[in-house]
Amino acid sequence: MIKINFNPEIDKEKTTRILREIRADKMSGFLDLPKKMYGSKELQRVKKIAEGIRAQSDVLVCIGIGGSYLGHRAIIEALRPQLSKNSGIRDFLGLPEHEKKEVQIIYAGNSLSRRELDYALRQVGDRDFSINVISKSGMTLEPAVAFKEFKRKLIEKYGEAEAVKRIYATTDANFGRLHDEAVAKGYTCFTVPNNVGGRYSVLSEVSLLPLVVAGVDVDELLSGAAQVLKSPEAAVKYAWMRYILGKRGYDTEVFASFEPSTAYFNEWVKQLFGESEGKKKQGILPTSVIYSTDLHSLGQFMQDGRRNLFETIVDFPTDDLNAKVVEAVRIAHIEGRIPVLDLAVPTFNERGFGELIMFFELACAVSAKLFGVNPFDQPGVEAYKKVLHQKINGF
């Protein structure tokens, strides 16, 4: 279990009320995912289809933005060094030895940069590939643009009939442009549960398909997440600690990791808190560093700059030398008058990341409630989408 080094005073009555409110919210489905997905028929189907993708392709292009891509990218990038060591695939897929290959996951549709899109198309090159297009609303511009381009490439390479068999659409079960196209063309479909918001969807089919294709042991991931729900106290304390610090004027949280492969995990955490909490002029600005790299850049500000920030160290088990840096940073920053919160993660593997995901999701929901905002909507993001759609005249 994740261990913490702080023990804030919490209002028990308020906590009980908040937890009850979260549970009763129509968007609280993320709390059910570990139990709902583990050993389920849906998960068996995901594994079977992932096996098919691995057999047919060298590359899986994952098209999506925000909550539709950050979660699985975070886990895949974090674990990639050890997945590769294991030929990129775990035995749980039951494939014969000669089929144990590393399927590369390439990401697209998370910006509107033509340069990035061309680069992603070039990266795929002449290799065999499939597409997993992920969009809950099925209406978001960035993935729609990338999907159009990759679909064209797929049809050019394989012809219309075979291309259809290589498109996997993850979207709403009933509505949206992507849903309608998927039904009309006959793509293989996965659903984003309608009681789970994008940034809370990591443990749903949104991420499970690319994760299994990449060789991640999703059973372990789900088990880790379930563990947190059995004892949510640490997540609740962390939410209170942030809230108390926020009210004392510490308006910026710096997530610090000492493992470079967790850079995308930082991006996911920032999205989770930023989109859930930054409303009604409330919330804590989430930002991140990777040490020791950033000790030679942002480290100066951390040690000696404006004192409006606190640091949350996501502390994975590590080698001796790196552990010494963790200790040194902790001492130096406390001396520099930064409140340092420690989250000691027991293992750097699927189970550890499963725990972290549920820990942060639950803490984020509680924290947003403490700040008096709705953790599950994103009116600011919707406002941007609306203006953009008007500007490009209904692309």
Q: Does 47 bind ligand PA5 (CB under 6 A)?
A: no
391 included as an active-site residue:
no
Comparing every residue's Cβ against ligand PA5, the nearest one is 198
Cβ of residue 228: shortest distance to ligand PA5, in angstroms?
Answer: 20
Specify the DSSP element, H or E, that contains 106. strand 104-108
Closest CA to 261 of 68, 75, 96, 119: 75
Which one is catalytic: 275, 277, 311, 355? 275
Q: Is 72 a catalytic residue?
A: no
Please give the structure tokens belonging to residue 380.
């600011």
Query: Considering only 48-56, 157-165, 193-201, 357-365, which stretch makes contact with ligand PA5 by CB under 6 A?
Result: 193-201
Cα 149 to chain centroid, rounded: 25
Burial letters 249-284, b for 16+ CB under 10 A, else e: ebeebbbbbbbebbbbbbbbbbbbbbbbbbbeeebb
**Binding ligand PA5 by CB under 6 A: which of 29, 34, 67, 286?**
67
Cβ(313)–Cβ(329) below 8 Å: yes
Told to check if 132 binds ligand PA5 by CB under 6 A, we report: no
Is there a catalytic annotation at residue 151?
no
Tell me the window of 37-45, 197-205, 258-266, 303-311 that interacts with ligand PA5 (CB under 6 A): 197-205
Looking at this protein, which amino acid is placed at residue 245? Answer: L
Measured on CA atoms in the order 199, 202, 203, 208, is the torsion positive or negative?
positive
Member of 28, 57, 130, 135 binding ligand PA5 (CB under 6 A): 135
Q: Which of 29, 88, 197, 224 binds ligand PA5 (CB under 6 A)?
A: 197
Catalytic pick among 12, 296, 335, 391: 296
Of 7-15, 84-92, 133-141, 237-245: span binding ligand PA5 (CB under 6 A): 133-141
Of 90 and 199, the one with the shorter C-beta distance to ligand PA5 is: 199
| DSSP secondary structure, 210-259, as one string | HHHHHT--HHHHHHHHHHHHH-THHHHHHHHHHHHHHHTT--EEEEEES-
Q: Which residues bind ligand PA5 (CB under 6 A)?
A: 65-68, 135-137, 140, 143, 197-199, 275, 378, 381
